[in-house]
Amino acid sequence: MNGDVTQIFFIVVSGIILMLLMCSFIVVMVLLHRQQQFRNRQKMDQLKGEYERTILGVEKEIQEQTLSYIGQELHDNLGQILSLTKLTLSRPDPENFSEGKKLINQAIKEVRSLSKSLNLDWVKEVQLSQFIQGELQKIENSGFSKTLFETNLEHLELEQDKKVVLIRIIQECLNNTMKHAEPELITILLREENNTLTLILKDDGKGFHVAEDHSGMGLHNLKSRIETIGGTLNISSIIGIGTEIKLLLPIE
């Protein structure tokens, strides 16, 4: 009889211990799950904050770049037109008066064009291919080097934030090329295949050692920015041959 009681007591105690262990296991799993959820929320908040900082920083840089361009245009282009207008109108004859009116109309057109660039509304309206063509045309007009643009895209719909980041990356790459590469030809290829946008910027300039990154944190910043919008960036360069920057961005 005592043996039966002992056996029942052992079974009950074992059951209680097993139940406590199962409860403890469940509690631990719940706590671990909540910790994982908390870490995931922290990571998502961090990624969101990094994304927002990147977009704000890029927008600020584009505005600064635009203001610099406007200042240069006011000094070199519009200033020259107005000076020529003043010189033309200083000689009062019908032919000069007609030419002066043309110059004034040209100056008004230039002012209107520049005023549209003072905010980022143009980013919403411009196609990426149009922007690239415009930037390359500026380089050619300056006499810096020859340029070439090839694309298989007639129309590309991009989210504005992604377009802003791509525009800034293109500006930064072209600026670095003009500062350091001394090329004779700058080439940009823009393609879309299998829901992936491919952008390749090439030059036949001096080249550099990619591992050393002569532009300080420039390459790191470029890679960080494209990664923020879900893309990747690869850079290859050969001394005396040139540099190629390849961006891949998944798109819908």
- The full set of domains in the chain, from first to last, is 122-252 (3.30.565.10)
Bigger pLDDT: 199 or 220?
Answer: 199
Identity at 32, one-letter amino acid code: L
How confident is residue 117, by pLDDT bands cut at 50, 70 and 90? Answer: low
Q: What is the mean pLDDT of residues 92-116?
A: 74
- Spell 69-98 as b/e; 16+ CB within 10 A means b: ebeebeeeebeebbeebeebeeeeeeeeee
How confident is residue 217, by pLDDT bands cut at 50, 70 and 90? Answer: very low
Q: What is the mean pLDDT of residues 232-245?
A: 93
For the chain, give the mean pLDDT.
81
List pLDDT tens digits, range 66-91. Answer: 777 667 667 666 777 777 777 777 77
- Is the predicted pLDDT of residue 186 greater than 90, yes or no? yes
Element (H, E) at 69: helix 2-73
